[in-house]
A and B are shown apart, each in its own frame.
Chain A
Amino acid sequence: MAQRNVIDDFTNPLRDPEDRRLPRIAGPCALVIFGVTGDLSRKKLMPAVYDLAHRGMLPPGFALVGFARRDWEDQDFAQQVHDSVKENARTPFREDVWEQLLEGIRFVSGTFESDDAFLKLKATLDELDNERGTGGNHAFYLSIPPSGFGPVMQQLRKHGLTEDHGDNWNRVVIEKPFGHDLQSARELDQVVSALFRPHEVFRIDHYLGKETVQNMLALRFANQMFEPLWNNHYVSHVQITMAEDIGIGSRAGYFDGIGITRDVMQNHLLQLLALAAMEEPTNFEAGQLRAEKTKVLAAAHVPVDYARSTARGQYAAGWQGGQEVAGYLQEQGVDPGSRTETFSAVRVDIDNRRWAGVPFYLRTAKRMPRRVTEVALNFKKPPHLPFAQTDTVELGTNALVMRIQPDEGVTLRFGAKVPGTQMEIREVSMDFGYGGSFTESSPEAYERLILDVLLGEPPLFPLQEEVELSWKILDPVLDYWASLPEQPEQYAAGTWGPKSAHDMIARDGFAWRRP
C-alpha cells in the first residue's frame, strides 16, 4: 500500500505509530504544474502548496516547477506564486516559510508541442534532483483541458521524464471532466495509463475533497444511531442537490455542448450517491472503499422511461438575488439554438436489498437561488400518529441532511410540540456545523490531495472503473436527451428549476426540498 521508503527492510527507530503529533512529511520531490497561469492554479494550487509548507508538511528540498506558455523567468513565476499565496492562502504569510519554498521554485516556458520546452523541463528537473536532492521523484499536475493530456503524455515519454530508476516515483494528477461519455473516458484513460500505472494516477474532483468524504464516512460508520435507519425500512427517498447561483460566466466555450450533467452530475453527484448509499467497507483502505462504491454504482440505474424519470432545463433571463441576469441562450458564445442543459434532474434506483424501492433524486443546476450542496435522507411517515389530525398538519417529513457546502455540517429535522396549551406539532431543525465545533479552517481539498500525491497515499478519489460505471448510468439519459428535437425547458434564473422537474418528483408523491 504505502510505497514510501520501502527500499529495504530499514525501520526508522524514531518513527512510532503512537506518536501522533508528528505530521507525515513527504520525501524530497518536485511538483510540476502544467497550466500554472490558470485560475485554479493561482487560487487553489499554489496557496495549497504554501499552506502545506506552513504546516510543516513539505519536505526540505521540495521543488515547485511551473510550465506554461508565458514568457517568464523563474523570478516572475516566483512573484506570481508570492502574490497568489498572499491573496489566497489559508494560513498567515511568513517570510521564513516563503524562503524555504522560494529556493525550489522554477519556471519553464513553452507549449506542449515544443521539444525545446520539454528538454528544458528535463534539464530543470535533473538540476533539481542534484541541487535540491529531489531524487527523481516527480509529480505532474495537469491543470489543463483534456485535449492537452495526449501531447503532454507524449512529450513526457519522448523526453524520458517519467523514467523509473527503481527507487524513485512518478505520479500524475488529472482534473475532471474525465471524458464526456463512456467512450471518451476510456480513450482518455488509455492516454494516461500508457505512461502511468493505476496507483500513480490521481483524479481529483475538486468539489469533493477528501475531508468531505471522510466526514461522511465518519457520520455513517462511526455512529450507532444513524446506520439502523439507513435503509428502505425508514427512508422514503433521498435527494442529492448541487445548486450554483452563478451562470456559466465566460465558460461558454467549455460548457456549451457539454452541459451540467456531464460537468458535475457524472462525477460529483454520483460520487455523493455512492458514498451515501454504499455498504460499510471492511476497513477504510482506499481499495476497500472503492470496492463498495463500485458495487453500489454497478447496482444503480435510471428507470428506463426517461421522459418520466429525468428533467432538464435552461435558465432564462430573470432576477437572481436582486440582480438582473441574462438567460443561457443570451450568454456570450452560446448558440441561440443550443440544446445544452443548465438544469438536470435524474431519478436513480439502486437494485439491492438496502435500497430497493427508495428513489434517489439527483439535481444540479446553474442560476439557482443560492449555492448549496447537500445529501438529504427523507424518512417515511410514522406508521401511526396518536394525535388528532389537526395537531400534525405542520409536521413535514423527518430528514437527515448532510450539508456539503457551504457551511459543512449535519441537520436533523423532526417534529416538536409548539409551546402553549394546544397540542400542535411543528417541524424544527437541529444543526451541527463542522466550522462551529472544530477548527475554523480545515485543510482545503487541494491541500489534502497534494499531500496524498506526495506521500503516495492511495487516493480516495475515483479510479477508472468508477468513472466508467458513472458514464454507464448517465449515457442512456444523455442519448435520450440528444434524441429530443426541442430545446430544454426554460426556467427563470434565480428559481429552483423548471416545472418538468417539479412534476417529475411529484409523480412519485414527493416534493423537492428547499435547501
Chain B
Amino acid sequence: MIIDLQNTSSREISAELTKARRGAGASGLVLTLIISTTDEHFDAAIEAARASATAHPSRVIVVTHVDDDQARLDAKIQVGDGLPGDLVVLRLHGPLQQHADSILLPILLPDSPTIAWWPNEGPDDLAADPIGQLADRRITDAAGCQDPQQALLNRARHHAAGDTDLTWTRLTRWRALLVAAVDQVQADVTAAKVVSAPDNAPATLLAAWLSVKLGVPVERVDGARVGVSEVRLTTTEGDIIIERPANGTANYSVPGQPPRKVALRRRPLTDLLTEELERMDPDEVFESTVAYLLASSERA
C-alpha cells in the first residue's frame, strides 16, 4: 500500500501509519532508521535499507531536501507489499530543512532505538546535527564523500559515542582473518604492511587499527587494485600474508602451514548496513582507532 501525502504534517503521517499498520497486521518493528540523502543517491540507499529491513524490521524514514522558497512537507508512506516494516519518504521544501527534527520526532517508533544514516555527504559533527541528535547511533560513509580521508579526520575530531563509519564495517572480514591468523601463529608481530589503492580510506583505518593494537609501525604501500589488496604481518615465526588478487577470493598464508584460499569479497551495502544495525552499543575499538588517526594526523 502506498499513500501519497502532499503538503502534509507529522500528525497526518502518524495517523496514516497507524491506520496502514493495522491493515497490514504486522508488528514488532525494532528500530527507526533515518536516512538523510540527496536525490542522486536515493535509490541505492532505499534498496539497502529495504534489504536490511528483512534482518531488522524497521521504520525507515528517508529525508531529502527540495530547493524552494516556501516551507512545505510532502510525504510518501509505504506499508506491506512484502516490505518488512514501514517506509516513509519525506521531502522537505525550503526552510523546513532546518527543522527536520520537529518533523521526525513525532514519527519515531516509541521506546526503540533510532539510527541515522548519511550514505554520502553528512555533517562533520554528527552528534550536534538536528537529525543526529535524535539518534542513538549515527552511521556515515566516508567513502561516499568527496574527500574520504578528510571526512574520516573531520568526523574523528567530533567523534561521540555511537558514531560509526561504513569504511570500518568494510574491514570486519579482513580484521577477523588477521585475528585468526595471529591466533594460529602465536608469535609476536614485529612489523606490518598494508597495500591498497592510493588514498583508500578503509586502508587508512586498517593501518591505524594495526598500529594501535600491535604497537609497531605500519607501512602503507600503493597498489594497483581496488580497495585493500594485501596485508602482511611480519612475526618472529615468519610472515602472515593475506592477499586479494581479485574480488571474491583471497590467498591466506601463515608460517608453517600450506597456503589456502578464503572467500573475501567487497561486501555490498546491504551487508554493511545489516552489520551496523546489529549492535546498538558504542564501538570502542573504532573510537580508539579514529582517535589514533586524528592524533597522528595532527602530529604530522
Contact = CB atoms under 8 A, between A and B. Distances in A.
B260 A96 contact: no
Contact of A100 (B30, B55, B183, B261): B261
A215 to B, nearest CB: 15
Given A21-B172, A437-B57, A440-B55, A103 B26 contact: no
B180 interface: yes
Contacts of B263: 53-54, 56, 94, 96-97, 99-100
B265 A96 contact: yes
Contacts of A103: 260-261
A144 B248 CA distance: 36
Nearest to A5: B183
A306 interface: no
Contacts of A133: 254, 256-258, 260
B179 A61 contact: no
Interface string A10-45: 101111101111110101100000000000000000
Contacts of A27: 180, 183-184
Given A96-B264, A100-B262, A440-B54, 5 more contacts: A5-B183, A132-B258, A132-B260, A133-B254, A133-B257
A22 B179 contact: yes
B299 interface: no
B47 to A, nearest CB: 16
A56 B182 contact: no
Interface residues of B, number: 48
A103 B260 CA distance: 9
Given A14-B178, A61-B260, A96-B265, A439 B249 contact: no
Contacts of B57: 436-437
Given A21-B172, A96-B249, A133-B258, A436 B182 contact: no
Nearest to B184: A27
Interface in A208-259: none
Nearest to A104: B260
A203 B128 CA distance: 53
A436 B281 CA distance: 22
Contacts of A438: 30, 55-56
A512 to B, nearest CB: 28
B249 A99 contact: yes
A9 to B, nearest CB: 10
Interface of B: 26-30, 54-57, 84, 169, 172-173, 175-180, 182-184, 186-187, 189, 210, 213-215, 248-249, 252, 254, 256-258, 260-265, 275, 279, 281, 283-285
A8 B175 CA distance: 23
A97 B262 CA distance: 7
A484 interface: no
Interface in A28-80: 28, 53-54, 56, 59-61
14 contacts: A22-B176, A23-B176, A25-B180, A60-B260, A61-B258, A94-B265, A96-B264, A100-B263, A132-B260, A133-B256, A133-B258, A436-B28, A437-B30, A438-B55
A486 interface: no
A20 B278 CA distance: 10
Contacts of A440: 54-55, 84
Interface residues of A, number: 44
Nearest to A98: B263
B18 to A, nearest CB: 17
A56 B263 CA distance: 8
Contacts of A60: 177, 180, 252, 260-262
A27 B181 CA distance: 9
Contacts of A13: 182, 189, 213-215
A97 B265 CA distance: 9
A65 B284 CA distance: 40
A96 B184 contact: no
B186 A5 contact: yes
Contacts of B256: 133
Nearest to A102: B261
Given A5-B183, A16-B285, A439 B55 contact: yes
B179 A21 contact: no
Contacts of B281: 20
Contacts of A7: 186
Nearest to A54: B263
Given A100-B261, A131-B258, A28 B248 contact: no
Contacts of A132: 258, 260
A22 B175 contact: yes
A96 B267 CA distance: 13
Contacts of B264: 96
Contacts of A95: 248
A7 B285 CA distance: 27
Contacts of B248: 95-96
A432 interface: yes
A332 B264 CA distance: 51
Contacts of A436: 26-28, 57
Contact of B172 (A22, A94, A99): A22
A25 B262 contact: no
Contacts of B55: 438-440
